[in-house]
Amino acid sequence: MTRTRTPVPQARGPSDHEVRNQIVEAATEYFGHYGYEKTTVSDLAKAIGFSKAYIYKFFDSKQAIGEVICSNRLSMIRSAIDEAVAGAPSASEQLRRLFKTLVESGSELFFDDRKLYDIATTSASEAWPSARDYEGHVKGLIERIVRDGREAGEFERKTPLDEAADAIYLVMRPYLNPLLLQYNLDQADEATARLSSLILRSLTP
Amino acid sequence: MTRTRTPVPQARGPSDHEVRNQIVEAATEYFGHYGYEKTTVSDLAKAIGFSKAYIYKFFDSKQAIGEVICSNRLSMIRSAIDEAVAGAPSASEQLRRLFKTLVESGSELFFDDRKLYDIATTSASEAWPSARDYEGHVKGLIERIVRDGREAGEFERKTPLDEAADAIYLVMRPYLNPLLLQYNLDQADEATARLSSLILRSLTP
């Protein structure tokens, strides 16, 4: 029995992947201008010039689009944090830079893209996967830095590692979670520098 | 020249002080039921059975009434904190009890008087005098406890006192400020216990 060979698909216009990107890009701009909470997929469709049905072929809901926007932004913040931490000469300095960078990135989003910040607060209050992943990433990073600092003799070792790391995360949380950060922006640089020093004093061997 | 003696005023109904108290009591109940933000002095007047003009004889504005309600509640919280701290055997224990009591009092207000909590968030976001006084009281208490702990040899003395006290206040702030506390109620007991331990590690001589 001979099989007919499946023909190699011809490029017939943009791929699904490209269309998804196009929608996300347009939505980022649209939500950035008109806000996320108060706009609908219909508004968005009209603005992009797509039908609502066509957008729903690619995304199940407005949240699904918001989730990609959020996730894109958070991966930029994660990269900024990872980069800042990677260049630090000691575990202490890594913790300082981690804290400083996450506050700077969050404040930047708040001040430069106030409307997109809405998506961030929604994602935090509804615990979207992107928000939970980001929190998990920061928690993991703190634990890794504390472990490294202990191994290098830089930090105390009496407190259980998870307890020490968790407490540090709790100190940083009001500056990391966008729901809380919006009330903490006043003198956030000075506050986080002070809190970093307190954290480091708590880690003294 | 002989002066006519001013006659001793006769009690002619309730004193101003009593009327003020009566309005505040009724307003506490009213706002506790219908919320603060969405009600007006007219609504309140109607509910109490006073004229709006009569209420305005005693209070300049709705905020002036809210301010007294807030101030009453905060002085209850202050007493609870002061009492908890006074009974503690050491500066470390004083800090723990301070943190624990302020979280418990705030959570209680949130869960038992959800509508009155609205006034608390308004007072915090608009920095009413009662809210600022309360913050000042807690800051002063922290500084006093840290100073006592240093004098008793319980805490380290290298860090400038105001810096150490300020950083501790910053750790507690998300659980003390009602705007922030509402997002921190989840496992607040455990979180504040962990944070107290971190604070105390930071104070180790």
Q: Which of B167, B174, B203 minimises the CB distance to A174?
A: B174
pLDDT computed for residue B23 by the predictor: 93
Comparing A26-40, A89-103, B83-97, which segment has the lowest mean pLDDT? Answer: A26-40
CB contact under 8 A, A171 and B173: no
CB contact under 8 A, A167 and B203: no
ipTM field: 0.87
CB pairs below 8 Å between A and B: how many?
A: 69
User: ∠ CA(B173), CA(B176), CA(B181), 5° rounding?
Assistant: 95
In chain A, residues with a C-beta closer than 8 Å to the C-beta of B204 are 204
Round to whole Å and give the CA distance between B63 and B4.
43
Closest residue in A to B194 (Cα) is A167
CATH number, span B62-202: 1.10.357.10
CB contact under 8 A, A184 and B179: no
Please name the helix (run of DSSP H) or strand (run of DSSP E) that holds residue A56, with its range, or none: helix A52-58
CA distances from B24 to A83, B29, B31, B45 (A): 56, 9, 10, 12
Q: What is the pLDDT of residues A139-179, one digit of tens each?
A: 999 999 999 999 999 999 999 999 999 999 999 999 998 88
- Higher-pLDDT residue of A2 and B181 is B181
Given CATH 3.40.50.300, say whether it is the number of domain A67-202.
no
CB contact under 8 A, A174 and B173: yes
Q: Is the pLDDT of residue A181 over 60?
A: yes
Q: What is the DSSP string of B46-88?
A: HHHT--HHHHHHH-SSHHHHHHHHHHHHHHHHHHHHHHHHHT-
First to last CA, chain A: 76
In chain B, residues with a C-beta closer than 8 Å to the C-beta of A183 are 125, 177, 179-180
Q: What is the pLDDT of residues B53-69, one digit of tens each?
A: 999 999 999 999 999 99
Round to whole Å and give the CA distance between A70 and A74.
6
pLDDT computed for residue A2 by the predictor: 45
CB contact under 8 A, B170 and A177: no
Contacts of B95 (CB under 8 A, 6+ apart): B142, B145, B146, B149, B168, B196, B199, B200
Closest residue in B to A196 (Cα) is B167
Comparing A9-13, A50-54, B170-174, which segment has the lowest mean pLDDT? Answer: A9-13
What is the mean pLDDT of the segment spanning A50-55? 92
In chain B, residues with a C-beta closer than 8 Å to the C-beta of A163 are 194, 197
pLDDT computed for residue B13 by the predictor: 66
Give counts: helices (H), strands (E), chain A. 10, 0
Q: What is the pLDDT of residues A103-142, one digit of tens each?
A: 998 888 887 888 888 888 888 888 899 899 999 999 999 9
pLDDT computed for residue A120 by the predictor: 87
Q: Is the pLDDT of residue A189 over 50?
A: yes
Residue A48 in contact with residue A30, Cβ under 8 Å?
yes
Distance from B133 to chain A by nearest Cα, in Å? 19
Q: Is the pLDDT of residue A81 over 60?
A: yes
pLDDT computed for residue B95 by the predictor: 97
pLDDT means over runs of 10, chain B (205 residues): 49 78 91 88 91 93 92 90 94 96 88 83 88 93 97 97 97 91 88 97 97
Residue B25 in contact with residue B73, Cβ under 8 Å?
no
